[in-house]
Amino acid sequence: MNYSFGMKKVMVLVLLLAAASVWAESAQVQIRQASVYDHPSVMAKFLGRLTLGDKVSVLSRKNGWVEVVSDEAHLKGWTREQGLTSAKVALRSGKNAQGASTTEVSLAGRGFSDPVESEYRQENPQLNYAVLDAMEKNTISDDELNAFLRDGGIHPEGDTQ
């Protein structure tokens, strides 16, 4: 087949567009919970949370924020770039410090991770991890944090209320 020069250009364009379409960026959540907002600001409307291992499609980026869609979490909105990774997040089975079987999502685990902590704790039974576990339960909702600031007459950047 003989294609004209113009025709070849069109074909190249078509192939490039098709390739870009197939390669739309995907990422996974690499922290336990990643907040999602309706626009890129912590003072924006809170929509929900993605959890560790959730897969998202990246729509756009702005100043450290990423607009994502997650079919699993039924969420579309803005989350922080740091909570996402393009590395693989995999399921990992193991035992927790008390010896019970657990299946948890984790980064395909190299280096320090939950199983390594379990080993460390077995070797150092005097260490008090219970206080740390209790500390981690103390998570305050975005709504309460925003109310705290506003009630105190504190006006964060990006606060439109």
- Residue 70 to residues 51, 59, 63, Cα–Cα distance (Å): 11, 11, 20
Among 98, 140, 143, 161, binds other proteins (CB under 8 A): 140
48 binds other proteins (CB under 8 A): no
Nearer to other proteins, 30 or 54 (CB): 30
| Total of residues contacting other proteins (CB under 8 A) | 80
98 binds other proteins (CB under 8 A): no
Q: Are 76 and 69 in contact (CB under 8 A)?
A: yes
Of 115-134, binders to other proteins (CB under 8 A) are 115-117, 119-120, 123-124, 126-129, 131-132
Q: Are 113 and 106 in contact (CB under 8 A)?
A: yes
100 binds other proteins (CB under 8 A): no
